[in-house]
Amino acid sequence: MVFRATLGLMVVCPFCPCLCRLAGNLVALFFSALVCIVLTHIWPDDFDWTKLQEIATIEHDVTAVLAESDKAELDQVCVCVRQGSDALVSAHA
């Protein structure tokens, strides 16, 4: 697109806003990742990863029991996720 202004010629690129947003998003993603990596190497945490493996998961927890009312509510949520958000609105109406 080319527009004539009183002081001269002004060229407007229709892709500029998209490229500016793309550049900003890429800088935000990669700069934060770079900062995290650099700071982690400068000041590392002494985390004992064996403690993370000792946490019991729900598959190995014998006390984790799902009640019937929870099962029904979970089934309703699964149906809403499969059909979209309109099913959730009609279910509560």
Model confidence over 42-82: pLDDT tens digits?
998 888 888 888 887 777 776 777 777 777 777 877 777 77
**Do 7 and 27 have their domain in common?**
yes
**pTM higher than the cut 0.85:** no
Question: What are the beta bridge partners of residue 87?
Answer: none
Q: Which domain holds residue 20?
A: 1-46
**Residue 66 to residue 70: CA distance in whole angstroms:** 6
**Do 60 and 91 have their domain in common?**
yes
**Do 42 and 53 have their domain in common?**
no
- Which tokens sit at 72? 């029904």
**Do 27 and 3 have their domain in common?**
yes
**Do 56 and 75 have their domain in common?**
yes
pLDDT in tens, 4-36: 555 566 555 565 667 778 888 999 999 999 999
Of 46, 66, 82, which marks where a domain is finished? 46
**Do 40 and 56 have their domain in common?**
no
Q: How many domains does the chain have?
A: 2
**Residue 85 to residue 93: CA distance in whole angstroms:** 13
Residue count of the chain, please give it.
93
Q: CB–CB of 12/1 below 8 Å?
A: yes
